[in-house]
Amino acid sequence: MIATLTGKLQARSDDAVIVNVGGVGLRVRVPGGTLALLGAVGSEAHLFTHLRVREDDLSLFGFATESELSLFETLLTVSGVGPKVALALLSSAAPETLRLAIAQGNLDALTATPGIGKKIAQRIVLELKGKVDVSGLSEVGELSATDEDVLNALINLGYSAAEATRAARSVPPSAKTVEERLRVALQYLGGA
């Protein structure tokens, strides 16, 4: 099993990188958070990996941290959750946010990920509640009605549900109206 790899980052795409290790270019699928942490093409990359072996396919998945890898492998134990769904979840939210959402049974946080419906979210919570480590993590807050309006406006402007949720949660309580909150959320997204 390939547990880690270190090599030169040869190419990047939206959901994968090619890492040259000893003259061999390995295509590694990565979540958005890991992709953001990797340097530019030509820099050195170090990834914790999961090799998925199927009859007609070998797929390599890479993660910036062991914690991210552990959550990916935990998500794969849920029936109906494959690597594509697990990667989508890890791309849409930080591992800590996902762990808390699962522990709290927060279906809204899970269904904010494109492609994750209520049934899959319920199955994830049912099968993993109590199995994910949430020690030392703060609470994931529910969105208020005003924040829901901000969230919907951002989605209508073309932002992903995950980006919109992060931006809506970043707005300080001092911004009271929907317009103020939307302006601050857009500033957050512009600086991200």
pLDDT digits (tens, 9 = 90+) for 106-148: 888 888 888 889 999 999 999 998 788 765 554 445 556 667 7
The predicted structure's pLDDT at residue 139:
44
The CATH fold of domain 145-191:
Helicase, Ruva Protein; domain 3 (1.10.8)
Phi, psi dihedral angles at 46 (to 5 degrees): -125, 125
Spatial neighbors of 117 by CB under 8 A, at least 6 apart, are 111
Which CATH superfamily, name and number, covers 4-63?
Nucleic acid-binding proteins (2.40.50.140)
The helix or strand, by DSSP H or E, that contains position 71, with its residue range, turns out to be helix 66-76
CATH topology identical between 4-63 and 66-128? no
- On the CB side of 3, CA atoms within 13 Å amount to 1
The predicted structure's pLDDT at residue 123:
94
87 vs 132, higher pLDDT: 87
**What pTM did the predictor assign?**
0.70
pLDDT at residue 11 above 70? yes
Measured CA to CA, the distance from residue 104 to residue 54 in angstroms comes to: 34
Using pLDDT thresholds of 50, 70 and 90, give the confidence band for residue 37.
confident
C-beta atoms surrounding 61 within 10 Å? 25
How large is the C-alpha radius of gyration of the chain?
18
